[in-house]
């Protein structure tokens, strides 16, 4: 295994560890951007539901689809 292979392996391990940490945290949105349409979530919605993942329109669609 050469140095490039070793570097790739280390990078892959770090990537998996970062993804595992991310997946173990509760879902939250610190950006204020809707995870579906990528538009800013209105400040009124964020005031009522800090950390909202979706804007109100995308949230309604999400709930209509049974959360899928």
pLDDT at 22: 66
Domain residue ranges of the chain, discontinuous segments joined by +: 3-64
**Could you tell me the two tokens for 33?**
């951007």
Per-residue pLDDT at 58: 96
**Predicted pLDDT at 18:** 80
**Statement: the pTM of the whole predicted model exceeds 0.85:** no
* Spatial CB neighbours of 68, under 8 Å, sequence gap ≥ 6: 62
**Under-50 pLDDT residues of the chain:** none
Task: Kindly report the number of other CB atoms within 10 A of residue 34's CB atom.
Answer: 21
């Amino acid at each position: 295994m050469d140095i490039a292979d070793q570097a790739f392996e280390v990078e892959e391990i770090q990537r998996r560890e970062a993804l595992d940490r991310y997946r173990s945290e509760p879902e939250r949105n610190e950006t204020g951007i809707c995870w579906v349409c990528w538009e800013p979530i209105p400040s009124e919605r964020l005031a009522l539901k800090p950390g909202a993942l979706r804007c109100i329109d995308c949230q309604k669609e999400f709930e209509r689809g049974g959360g899928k």
